[in-house]
Amino acid sequence: MNAPRLFTITLNPAIDQTVRLDRLLPGEVHRALGEQTEAGGKGIGVAAVLAALGRPVTASGWLGADNDAVFRAAFAERGITDGMLRLPGATRTNIKLAVAERGDSTDINLPGLALAPEALQAAEQQLGERLDAAVAPGDWCELAGSLPPGTDAGLWERLARRLAARGAQIVIDTGGAVLGTLLARLADPARGPVVPVAFIKPNRAELEELVARPLHDTLAVADAAQALCQTHGVRQIVVSLGGQGAVMADGQGRWQAAAPAVTVATTVGAGDALVAGTLAALMDGQTLPVAGVFGMACAAARIQRIAPGLPPRQEVTELAARIRATPI
């Protein structure tokens, strides 16, 4: 069998406009230090990191045809296969305020391209056919990011079932109520064949929403993550804890790892880099703690610059050497 490939599926991509500020004072006038525009959206961020790691990756999903130039340029420059449908209209622009004093970003994410029900149905049909033609058994498919207006978890569910029927490994990186609904539906035999989920990467708030209780410490996070593996048939989980690092869980155990201290230019894309690095290593057959550490190194490398992608591999390897996963 050929080496597995990754397809990211982004149904609500974004043009990220990052405005750099020295500080943020609500209600005040700010003079920006600078501005940068990048092709964004969760699966596109993941694809950028995978491509930087030298992996074949296809960015799939859909884009507004009116302003796709930034995506075309990014795909060509980074060596990402462009598998995105073009739909009538414009892709949303998300505003990112990267604030030097705070060392983080404030995100303002817009709803996204709204399509009429018939147009949505046609887009789903066309996307499904494209994926059927491209995805081979053993390939990994990431359902990435939020859903556009007028759609619900059913859209992800139909795509996941279609891809699982082709023998793909399903990865989910979507948040809010949609994640819980989707996991519950895919694990429910009354709805059809149970779809095993290879990997998810909630953050603490998303995991709290999934298990419907606050998770005050690392141990509580690890317990909740491991329980989710058992109840929802999720094979591997990395819970991102921002500056505090990550907790990982699978059928074999649970681990925690602290994030290395780095200078932060933006926190946008940190989660995508964590997913991308972890998936790259898992696809190589690495264990979860090894893969999660590599993902964390990719995230630490990613947040030091505003542009998606990664610095030279040596820098990522050095960061990985500074991270230890310890069993909990």
Ligand X SMILES: O=P(O)(O)OC[C@H]1O[C@](O)(CO)[C@@H](O)[C@@H]1O
Q: Give the residues lining the site for ligand X (CB under 6 A).
A: 12, 14, 16, 40-42, 45, 94, 109, 145-146, 268-269, 271-272
- Kindly report the length of the chain: 328
Give least dist CB 104 to ligand X, A: 13
The residue (of 120 and 290) whose beta carbon lies closer to ligand X is: 120
Whole-number Å distance between alpha carbons of 133 and 5:
14
State the residue number with the nearest CB to ligand X. 40
Query: Is residue 164 within 8 Å of 133, Cβ to Cβ?
Result: no
CA dihedral (225, 229, 231, 233) positive or negative = positive
Whole-number Å distance between alpha carbons of 122 and 144:
20
Least Cα distance to 297 among 279, 283, 278 occurs for: 278
Give least dist CB 175 to ligand X, A: 6
Catalytic residues: 272
Query: Is residue 15 within 8 Å of 292, Cβ to Cβ?
Result: no
Give least dist CB 20 to ligand X, A: 16
The residue (of 37 and 317) whose beta carbon lies closer to ligand X is: 37
The residue (of 109 and 286) whose beta carbon lies closer to ligand X is: 109
Query: Is residue 172 within 8 Å of 183, Cβ to Cβ?
Result: yes
Token pair 């406009």 is found at 17
Give least dist CB 269 to ligand X, A: 5
